[in-house]
Structure 1
Amino acid sequence: MLATMLVDVDHVLATPIFQEGRSSIGFHPLHTYPMIFLYFLGVLFLRGNYRIIAIGLLFHMFTDFQDFYFWRWLMKL
């Protein structure tokens, strides 16, 4: 599951690499909605270690999503 953090390597393709206030979901190539759908299909149809990787990727997308909105909400307080 920790290896699924390698999906963040697509952040180096962005210009600028980091931009405050930008969500990675829907912006970086491996964080797009079609890719998230493929990760979901992987959970449904893959077996063994491949399913674990798909679960890890979905969890990664969820944490990126909630992290962005949590910090956005927190900054408004």
Structure 2
Amino acid sequence: MLHAFLHITVPGLVALAFYRPHWRRVWLVLAAALLLDLDHLWAMPFYDPDRCSINFHTFHTFHTYWAMAGYVLLLLPARTRVWAVGFLLHMGLDYTECWQRGIYLP
């Protein structure tokens, strides 16, 4: 439950800190990065509290290192930068959940 809470509050704090004039709109975009979790629908089992979602298997298409490289590239154009920040924040929060469970990724 704390993990889901962080996926909402951390983007809010980032939006307040770096995008103050438009923080509400940016917060919505950053929080919309939760859409990346749609790839969990393809995972078997659908929910496993002890699983690390980063590079779990090939069906986690949005949580692979290749996808993360794409998110980094999305930082370059100004039009996609806020989305890229949201996607990378999402990946960072998922990494911290893995570390909390004692799963250390390369």
Normalising by structure 2, we get a TM-score of 0.62
Rounded to whole Å, the distance in 2 between the matches of 1:5 and 1:55 is 12
Q: Which runs of 4+ in 1 moved over 6 A?
A: none
Higher RCO (C-alpha 8 Å, min separation 6): 1
- Whether 1:57 aligns to 2:87 is yes
* Structure 2: gaps (5+ residues): 1-29
- Report the identity percentage: 36
- Whether 1:68 aligns to 2:89 is no
Rounded to whole Å, the distance in 2 between the matches of 1:64 and 1:20 is 12
How big is each residue's C-alpha offset from its partner over 1:18-71, in whole Å with a ceiling of 9 and x where there is no partner? 12321100121100000001001111x1213x110001000100000111211x
* Structure 1: gaps (5+ residues): none
Which residue in 2 is equivalent to 1:12? 41
Q: How many residues align?
A: 70
